[in-house]
A and B are shown apart, each in its own frame.
Chain A
């Protein structure tokens, strides 16, 4: 067999695997439902200016806290802003922070995991101690402290979430790295004199890539919740409206004691649904990856 046909065969094999994955995924009702909800939110985030009737800076100061009507589908907030529009614009913030924070989390986790797993020895012990330490620290208080010191900006929030969330990914990637490292082809590569960088990029990374993908998805849910939580505590970026921030204002301006349900229900429901969609996708991925559940 020549090189070309080997490559074609490899591509075909990969294609088969992707197809089988898609087939199994499609049959999973959680996975499908999650994907549909997610698509809906992505659509909202991308086309917010076209869908929302107003912008977050349109204030109708004469009409604060007005109940849902044909003018304001979900009523208005304390500044007379249209809650429905805020909700749609908030989608962008949640999604952006969620995705970017998750990416950064996984990048840090992968880096630490591969480094610790590949080099082993004292490096591994130190990094693992550090990982375990960050793993048991109370996440939200640490994020609060960091956010308070760094100041409110969307980039700081992304950074804060990632710097607190990377340990789980690091552990998983490390153990995968360890098992790949001990495999015969890596040993053989080494015997042939391949350098560390070569082995990491050629053998280790391709083997942890599926995990990396899975963890990017899995971490988004947590990142969205974290952003919302920080915003609810008043640590959000005031220049980007977000669902957590809406709840913060709702709480601050006494929506609860006044029974202004249209200010309280929609943002929470939105967070819940978006996070749920990622959770369902993650659950489906887990069912596919985990053979115990997959049987039957």
Chain B
């Protein structure tokens, strides 16, 4: 089997996962609440026409299996109805600047955490048993155990309240008129610093521990002993023989960790009032805005599935042993 077939197979897997997600969503939002009409449509703010249109859109007067088929069709177009709170189509609320804001927070945080984790984990494993090793292991355990929103609160307490060098909340200064793009960028980055720092810190510990344990595993392998016997320099052994093997699983892990990162991002965005999907899910929950909740959850699940497929393919491409 070639790489192309492997990609094809993963895409099929992705399609299956997509349908599982749709089914789960259907179960959660149509079957579980008992009376989805009350759940989704009977908002006093909606006009009678809107209600009628929604009833038709969801097919709530039809038998369950037909509703399911309609649900699948609607899922393809992210047609989840109208937000209770914003009185706007859920799709428009999701595919907006909020999504970009979330990506602007999550992608750099994940990359930074991975790079930092890999570097520190490598040094820790290389100097196994040293002060550096035990300290960094302990610090990662601490960060792993600390709630992300609390770290966020501490960051704000220190940098915003006491030092006054970072803003309290939000993704831009409200009501400000920017003179040029750079001013906007500066303001945006200034607001991004706190959440980015927080999210990076909580993600980084996990990568560190895993990189360290991967490397220790690799170091006990015969090919490292053989590399030593060959007299290769410590540098060559570490980079060309050690890390090259230990870093591969990290690729897959980044995909798997997306789910974890998203959980962290939701809490970080909430505490920093970052104008993104995480903050939106918080608002949706507190307003019991079920259509919005449904749409966000579907999008987040899709993001994770896609990230996993991509990292799987990258892994297969990088690892010569994969026979697909």
Contacts and interface: CB of A to CB of B under 8 A. Distances in A.
Question: Is A in direct contact with B (CB under 8 Å) within the complex?
Answer: yes
A137 to B, nearest CB: 6
Question: In the complex, which of the residues A137, A139, A145 has the most CB atoms of chain B within 10 Å of its own CB atom?
Answer: A145
Interface in A227-274: 228-229, 232-235, 244, 247, 250-251, 256-257, 259, 261, 264-265, 267-268, 271-273
A247 B149 contact: yes
Interface stretch (A84-92, A110-118, A275-283): A275-283
A264 B85 CA distance: 30
A275 B149 contact: no
A141 interface: yes
B32 A137 contact: no
Contacts, number: 140
Contact of B293 (A135, A145, A259, A273): A145
Contacts of B33: 149
B297 A229 contact: no
Contact of A141 (B157, B220, B262): B262
Nearest to B270: A233
B157 A140 contact: no
Contacts of B244: none
Contacts of A178: none
A279 B147 contact: no
A136 B304 contact: yes
Contact of B154 (A228, A268, A276): A268
B256 interface: yes
B305 interface: yes
A292 interface: yes
Contacts of A129: 16, 20
Task: Decide if the interface of chain B is mainly helix, strand, loop or mixed.
Answer: helix
B147 A259 contact: no
B129 to A, nearest CB: 9
A272 B138 CA distance: 13
Interface residues of B, number: 53
A170 B208 CA distance: 25
Given A139-B260, A256-B156, A272-B147, A133 B17 contact: yes
A126 to B, nearest CB: 11
B285 interface: yes
Contacts of A264: 150, 153-154, 157
B233 interface: no
Contacts of A271: 145-147, 150
Given A234-B286, A261-B157, A279 B266 contact: no
A62 to B, nearest CB: 26
B285 A144 contact: yes
Nearest to A292: B220
Interface string A129-162: 1100101111111101110110000000000000
Contacts of B297: 141-142, 144-145
Interface in B281-301: 281-282, 285-286, 288, 290, 293-294, 296-297, 300-301
A140 B262 contact: yes
B142 A272 contact: yes
Contact of B161 (A139, A225, A234, A259): A259
B323 to A, nearest CB: 20
Task: Decide if the interface of chain A is mainly helix, strand, loop or mixed.
Answer: helix
Contacts of A106: none
A283 B140 CA distance: 12
A6 interface: no
A244 B67 CA distance: 38
A95 interface: no
A188 interface: no
Nearest to B16: A129
A280 B150 contact: no
B170 to A, nearest CB: 13
A251 B288 contact: no
A221 interface: yes
B16 to A, nearest CB: 7
Contacts of B20: 129-130, 133
Nearest to B289: A148
A140 B260 CA distance: 8
A232 B267 contact: yes
B156 A141 contact: no
Contacts of B259: 135-139
A137 B160 CA distance: 34
Given A139-B260, A256-B161, A234 B285 contact: yes
Given A138-B304, A146-B28, A148-B285, A279 B157 contact: no
Across the A-B interface, give the 8 residue pairs with the lowest CB-CB distance, nearest first: A268-B150, A140-B263, A275-B145, A276-B145, A138-B262, A272-B146, A138-B259, A259-B161
19 contacts: A136-B259, A137-B24, A138-B263, A141-B296, A141-B300, A141-B301, A149-B29, A149-B290, A225-B147, A228-B147, A234-B285, A247-B147, A247-B153, A268-B147, A272-B142, A272-B150, A273-B145, A275-B146, A276-B145
Given A140-B263, A229-B267, 13 more contacts: A133-B21, A133-B24, A135-B256, A136-B305, A138-B300, A142-B297, A144-B266, A144-B285, A233-B282, A247-B147, A247-B150, A271-B150, A273-B145
